[in-house]
């Protein structure tokens, strides 16, 4: 069957040295791409002074916005997605050793990125709609910081929601995902990447949505979100990290609801 799960990949620990080196190279490539993306974002930041006044979309065209978004996703999500990507690579390397048909890792990664690019397109649409609505409505323009505060409170509450926990359970257990969601062939690998991307999006979508009111190119905030996502997905203290983030976000959002000037981008609204 095309969707039969692979054999438990414990034997992959004894992969030949060339394939172990290949997995190490893939990890290094993921981290190198993330590092280069962070450098691009850091170089972009000095030129972004005052761009908050242009609104959430920063005055960017759709293609340029998506290009910036992809750089952000590579910087923030490749390190946190590395365990799942390496698990996929490990199983495919085992197939390769056994002389079976295998799929290169880039197919799985492509499916993963498609989900995040689609979400970036949605974020851009929301940003443009918010800008236009603010231009047409004095009330929305005046209360935009409070709406941003409400979004931050919502993000905090979502941190401890059942849906967040369910999605995070899949992201924290790469082996379980591979054994229960395996699909053969190129199409199957792409589907697996899409499915994992959806689980990952389910964990993190509101953490990225709050970048709209807080500043899309706020590199410091992006770094904090990346560390939080890594802690949630990979560290034993995951439940504590989620609760701590929930408390901090709800408290900060409530502060903005009471004092709109506490929002960093409020002066540009």
Q: Would you say 91 and 174 are in contact if contact means Cβ atoms under 8 Å apart? A: no
Domain range summary for the chain, segments of one domain joined by +: 16-268
Which of 38-47, 126-135, 158-167 is the most confident on average?
A: 158-167
The string of pLDDT tens digits covering residues 147-176 is 999 999 999 999 999 999 999 999 999 988
Q: How far is CA 106 from the centre of its chain?
A: 17
Q: What's the pLDDT at 84?
A: 93
Residues 6 or more apart whose CB falls under 8 angstroms from that of 261 comprise: 145, 267
Q: Which of 91-95, 112-116, 201-205, 250-254 has the lowest mean pLDDT?
A: 91-95
In this prediction, residue 112 carries a pLDDT of 96
Residue 266 banded pLDDT, cuts 50, 70, 90: low
pLDDT 10s digits, 44-61 = 754 444 444 456 777 788
**Side-chain-facing half-sphere of 10: CA atoms under 13 Å:** 1
Identify whether the C-beta of residue 102 lies closer than 8 Å to the C-beta of residue 186. Answer: no
Q: What is the pTM of this model?
A: 0.84
pLDDT value of position 130: 86
Angle (CA) 245-247-251 rounded to 5° is 115
Write the pLDDT tens digit of every residue in 237-250. 889 999 999 999 99
pLDDT, tens digit, for every residue of 86-98?
Answer: 999 988 888 888 8
What percent of the chain lies above the pLDDT cut of 70? 87
pLDDT digits 0-9 by tens, 4-16: 566 555 444 455 6
pLDDT value of residue 218: 85
């Amino acid at each position: 069957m095309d969707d039969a799960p692979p054999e438990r990949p414990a034997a992959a620990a004894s992969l030949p040295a060339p394939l172990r080196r290949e997995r190490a190279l893939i990890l290094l490539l993921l981290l190198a791409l993330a590092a280069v993306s962070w450098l691009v974002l850091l170089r972009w930041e000095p030129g972004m002074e005052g761009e908050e006044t242009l609104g959430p979309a920063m005055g960017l065209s759709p293609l340029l916005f998506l290009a910036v978004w992809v750089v952000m996703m590579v910087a923030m999500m490749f390190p946190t997605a590395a365990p799942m990507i390496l698990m996929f690579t490990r199983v495919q390397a085992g197939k390769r050793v056994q002389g079976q048909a295998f799929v290169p890792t880039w197919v799985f990664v492509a499916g993963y990125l498609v989900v995040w690019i689609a979400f970036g397109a949605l974020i851009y649409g929301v940003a443009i709609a918010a800008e236009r609505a603010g231009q047409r409505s004095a009330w929305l323009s005046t209360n935009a910081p409070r709406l941003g505060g409400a979004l931050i409170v919502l993000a905090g509450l979502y941190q401890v929601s059942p849906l967040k926990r369910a999605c995070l359970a899949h992201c924290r257990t790469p082996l379980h995902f591979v054994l229960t969601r395996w699909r053969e062939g190129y199409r199957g690998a792409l589907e697996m990447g899409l499915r994992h991307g959806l689980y990952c999006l389910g964990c993190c979508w509101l953490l990225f949505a709050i970048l709209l009111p807080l500043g899309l190119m706020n590199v410091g905030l992006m770094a904090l979100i990346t560390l939080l996502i890594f802690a949630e997905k990979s560290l034993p203290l995951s439940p504590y990290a989620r609760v701590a983030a929930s408390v901090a976000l709800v408290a900060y959002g409530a502060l903005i609801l009471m004092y709109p000037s506490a929002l960093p981008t409020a002066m540009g609204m």
